[in-house]
Amino acid sequence: MWSRGVGLGGDPSQPGKTLARFLVLFTVSLITAVWLQWSWLHWLLAAAALWVLFKLFRS
């Protein structure tokens, strides 16, 4: 999983694309957390869960 180049699992030749995906997931998680009035730990876990789901569907 971590050997694909960038630490977030993207193509090393396209670091901006991987960063953009991460920022989209981060933003969606943050908006959801604020909407549901979650604590920072909950939205951090939500961001991690979204990232894992994204990676599972991409593989």
Residue 28 resides in a domain:
yes
The 10s digit of each residue's pLDDT in 31-42 is: 777 777 767 777
Question: Would you place residue 55 in the very low, low, confident or very high pLDDT band (cuts 50, 70, 90)?
Answer: confident
Q: Report if residue 31 sits inside a domain.
A: yes
Question: Is 1 contained in some domain?
Answer: no
Handedness of CA 3, 48, 58, 16 (dihedral sign): negative
Is pTM beyond 0.75? Reply is: no
Which amino acid belongs to residue 13? S
Which of the two residues, 12 and 16, has the higher pLDDT score? Answer: 16
Residue 4 lies in a domain: no
Range of 19's domain?
15-58
User: Residue 29, class by beta-carbon neighbours within 10 Å (0-12 exposed, 13-18 middle, 19+ buried)?
Assistant: buried
Q: Is residue 42 part of a domain?
A: yes
What pLDDT digit, counting tens, does each position of 16-29 carry? 677 777 778 778 87
Total domain count for the chain?
1
